[in-house]
């Protein structure tokens, strides 16, 4: 995924090759631009399906429903959706930390936490997935939903996930993937490239950010290749599950 040219290491920003050090700034511009309407756009673009995919992730997480302490780190957690869903499914020992690089997304998340009465159970911390501001072995589970493809150096983010998990801790990653149902792939491409950018323009005033979104999905590694990256980071029992004909995949692994 990362390549070297004469000017140094490059990576993808959508379909463009960019210096790896520039990608994060471009990604941050995208999410600053859409933060306030991010949740509405998720519902419109996925026709509500992102809720189903996130529920599948929470079922796999299976947080304790009793008072046993359970610390979740939700990286690239944005406006807090995964953490709120996990909190709803958990007992009193549950605590989530949403870590995201973008203050605009975190601000929306903090407002939602207050509105939904989660402020005691969910914290919001600004930080980079590639260099997490947490000690080694400090979380029972690590989730990242629709976040990892935005991170310039995925291998670093995976190494950091491994570092901050306690032995016995669970890694779960929900991400757009590759449609594997004949016929659906053409409809999905048409919907993605013809409808999503104009929809993004109508709702957020920003078509380019949603053009990046659909392009970045096409550039993300295929499920088997991504499983291999997770294994290379040290995780055991790595597997993946395809959802909605491959539109999304849920990858998981354990730090043993
Ligand atoms: C598509 S949103 C996903 C938000 C949330 N997880 C959800 O499922 O609704 C992607 C998030 O990744 C964050 N992000 C991008 N690069 C990051 C990085 N290097 N470290 C932490 N967060 C990052 C963005 O700021 C954005 O909030």
For 196-244, the pLDDT digits (tens) are 899 889 988 888 888 888 998 998 999 999 999 999 999 999 999 999 9
Q: Given the CA of residue 28, which atom of ligand 1 is nearest to it?
A: 25
Residues in Cβ contact with 95 at an 8 Å cutoff, skipping those fewer than 6 apart: 69, 70, 71, 72, 121, 122, 123
130 Cβ below 6 A of ligand 1: yes
Q: Given the CA of residue 78, which atom of ligand 1 is nearest to it?
A: 27
pLDDT at 7: 55
Poorest-pLDDT segment among 28-37, 123-132, 139-148: 28-37
Percent of the chain at pLDDT > 70 equals 97
161 Cβ below 6 A of ligand 1: no
105 Cβ below 6 A of ligand 1: yes
Separation of alpha carbons 44 and 149, rounded Å: 21
82 Cβ below 6 A of ligand 1: yes
């Amino acid at each position: 995924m990362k390549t070297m040219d004469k000017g140094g290491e490059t990576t993808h920003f959508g379909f463009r090759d960019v210096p790896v050090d520039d990608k994060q700034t471009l990604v941050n511009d995208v999410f600053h631009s859409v933060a306030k309407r991010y949740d509405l756009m998720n519902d419109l673009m996925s026709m509500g399906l992102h809720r189903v995919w996130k529920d599948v992730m929470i079922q796999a997480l299976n947080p304790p429903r009793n008072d046993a302490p359970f610390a979740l780190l939700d990286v690239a957690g944005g406006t807090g959706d995964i953490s709120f869903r996990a909190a709803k499914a958990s007992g009193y020992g549950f605590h989530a930390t949403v870590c995201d690089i973008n203050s605009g997304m975190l601000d929306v998340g903090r407002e939602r936490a207050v509105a939904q009465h989660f402020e005691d159970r969910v914290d919001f911390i600004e930080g980079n997935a590639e260099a997490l501001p947490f000690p080694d072995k400090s979380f029972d589970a690590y989730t990242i939903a629709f976040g990892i493809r935005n991170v310039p150096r995925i291998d670093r983010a995976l190494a950091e996930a491994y570092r901050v998990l306690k032995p016995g801790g669970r890694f779960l990653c929900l991400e757009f993937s590759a449609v594997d149902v004949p016929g659906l792939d053409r409809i999905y491409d048409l919907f993605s490239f013809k409808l999503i950018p104009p929809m993004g323009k109508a709702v957020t005033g920003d078509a380019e950010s949603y053009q990046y979104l659909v392009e970045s999905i096409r550039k993300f590694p295929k499920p088997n290749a991504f499983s291999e990256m997770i294994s290379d980071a040290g995780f055991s029992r790595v597997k993946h599950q395809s959802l909605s004909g491959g539109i999304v995949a849920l990858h998981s692994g354990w730090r043993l």
